[in-house]
């Protein structure tokens, strides 16, 4: 099942994406939950699947305004330096533990939205990533059971302002509207193994990153084990799992995103997130 968050007629809703459009699950479940995050927290995914089964789309994709798949996560936790190829291209040492930073809600951008290059810098880089959506409140999750706490998977573009990142990772990763998330969440039952996915980032149709998630230094289960040791994970929390090589900063000369560019993050079995770059 592919679950989306969207706005229609001024109202925030969520639904299931079909080939033809969106099944309005907010309406079909009697407005029981105000958001997809609330439905996940209430363990409502089975009910959503039943409501979406064998029904046609209520709305076409051109009738909705896309929202980040989880518009209101409590936390957005990101893993840096998680592919050896990327560690090498930026001249860093392979980390012994996951390297963690966080993002603010104001950084999120929906599918078909606009990612904003800040006026403070032109060193605006792309990082395509697999993102995990947590399905239940949990702490001290073992690696063996870590995949069981996942609600689903989605695509993430970690827009990075590199000159600011040199003196502060938090600053370089938290300019407004620099973190596209979507287009939808594919539920965990659809993804047999998150370490068997192909990730491709395209800039204006040209492939700039391409790798498979089995090359992660820390796999998804290890990341969840580590983060749940540090803090409570909550339903709807987003975990971005890191990017492979090919980023703009690793090229000579550097390849930065600029206004007018189209950027896509494509992950096999999940879908394609597409956004356009604009200036602040």
Cis amide linkage into residue 183, ω under 30° from 0:
yes
What is the reported pLDDT for 91? Answer: 79
* C-alpha 109 chain-centroid distance: 10
What is the reported pLDDT for 42? Answer: 98
What is the reported pLDDT for 256? Answer: 98
What single-letter DSSP state applies at residue 12?
Answer: E
Residue spans in the chain of domains classed CATH 3.90.850.10: 76-279
Distance from C-alpha of 199 to C-alpha of 275, rounded to nearest angstrom? 16
Cα–Cα nearest to 219, from 144, 271, 155: 144
Give the pairing type, strands 65-66 and 22-24.
unpaired
Buried b (16+ CB within 10 A) or exposed e, 176-215: ebbbbbbbbbbbbeebeebeebebbbbbeeeebbebebeb
Distance from C-alpha of 211 to C-alpha of 202, rounded to nearest angstrom? 12
The fold of 76-279 is Fumarylacetoacetate hydrolase; domain 2 (3.90.850)
What single-letter DSSP state applies at residue 231?
Answer: S
Token reading at 18 = 């079909």
Per-residue pLDDT of the chain (280 residues; tens, 9 = 90+): 999 999 999 999 999 999 999 999 999 999 999 999 999 999 999 999 999 999 999 999 999 999 999 999 999 999 999 999 898 888 788 889 999 999 999 999 999 999 999 999 999 999 999 999 999 999 999 999 999 999 999 999 999 999 999 999 999 999 999 999 999 999 999 999 999 999 999 999 999 999 999 999 999 999 999 999 999 999 999 999 999 999 999 999 999 999 999 999 999 999 999 999 999 9
């Amino acid at each position: 099942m592919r679950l989306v968050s969207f706005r229609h007629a001024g109202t925030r809703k969520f639904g299931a994406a079909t080939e033809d459009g969106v099944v309005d699950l907010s309406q079909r479940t009697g407005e029981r939950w105000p958001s997809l995050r609330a439905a996940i927290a209430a363990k409502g995914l089975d009910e959503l699947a039943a409501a979406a089964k064998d029904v046609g789309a209520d709305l076409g994709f051109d009738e909705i305004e896309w929202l980040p798949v989880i518009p209101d996560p409590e936390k957005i936790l990101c893993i840096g330096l998680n592919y050896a190829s990327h560690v090498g291209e930026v001249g860093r040492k392979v980390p012994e533990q996951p390297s963690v930073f966080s993002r603010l809600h104001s950084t999120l951008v929906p599918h078909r939205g606009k990612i904003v290059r800040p006026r403070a810098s032109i060193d605006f880089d792309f990082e395509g990533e697999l993102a995990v959506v947590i399905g239940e409140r949990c702490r001290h999750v073992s690696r063996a059971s870590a995949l069981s706490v996942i609600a689903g998977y989605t695509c993430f573009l970690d827009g990075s302002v590199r000159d600011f990142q040199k003196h502060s990772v938090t600053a370089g990763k938290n300019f407004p509207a620099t973190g596209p998330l979507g287009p939808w969440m594919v539920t965990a039952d659809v993804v047999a193994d998150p370490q068997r996915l192909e990730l491709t980032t395209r800039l204006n149709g040209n492939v700039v990153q391409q790798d498979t998630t089995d090359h992660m230094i820390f796999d998804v289960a290890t990341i969840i084990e580590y983060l749940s040791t540090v803090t409570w994970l909550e339903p709807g929390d987003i975990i971005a799992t890191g990017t492979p090589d090919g980023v703009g900063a690793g090229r000579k000369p550097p390849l930065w995103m600029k206004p007018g560019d189209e950027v896509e993050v494509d992950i096999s079995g999940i879908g394609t997130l597409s956004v356009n770059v604009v200036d602040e």
